Amino acid sequence: MQNENVKFKMDLKERSYKYSLAIIAFIDKLSNNISTQIIAKQLLRSATSIGANIIEAQASPSRRDFTNFFNYSLKSANESKYWLELLKDSGKVDKGIVEPLLQETKEIANILGSSILTLKGRRKF
């Protein structure tokens, strides 16, 4: 069980890092108009915050702090979904380009949400 927990943490950390890199590449290809750039800045902050808070969680001294940082990560993932959906639905980006990022955002959010429930003892395996 201990090895699975360590592997899960490393996988989530690596996955969130790769997600951040994908978001950076995506943002760098967006148009330069003012509305797109403002949304892009918000997306950059929220998307990269996911991984940063996962890293902070892993350095937490207590289970409560760990859970709180996962909550922050989940909030950032939900915010990132919002910005990506806004870019998609406003026609600022091609749906085919944004859909894989949205899917990854949703998967990371689901993992975080499930982890939080487990940490709070509300979910049994």
Q: What is the CATH number of the domain that holds 28?
A: 1.20.1440.60
Residue pair 44/72 in contact by the 8 Å Cβ criterion: no
Q: What is the pLDDT of residue 56?
A: 96
Q: How many domains does the chain have?
A: 1
Residue 124 lies in a domain: no
Q: What is the pLDDT of residue 81?
A: 98
Domain housing 43: 2-119
Residue 125 lies in a domain: no
The DSSP code sequence of 13-48 is HHHHHHHHHHHHHHHHTS---HHHHHHHHHHHHHHH
- Helices 95-119, 63-89: crossing angle, 10 deg rounding: 160
Tens of pLDDT, residue by residue, the chain (125 residues):
556 655 665 699 999 999 999 999 999 999 999 999 999 999 999 999 999 999 999 999 999 999 999 999 999 999 999 999 999 999 999 999 999 999 999 999 999 999 999 988 865 54
Contacts with 60 (C-beta within 8 Å, 6 or more apart), sequence order: 66, 68, 69
Please name which of 5, 9, 121, 7 lies closest in space to residue 73, comparing C-alpha atoms: 9
Residue 49 lies in a domain: yes
CA distances from 9 to 62, 68, 110 (A): 16, 16, 15
**Total residue count of the chain as it appears in this document:** 125
Q: What is the pLDDT of residue 121?
A: 84
Q: What is the pLDDT of residue 40?
A: 98
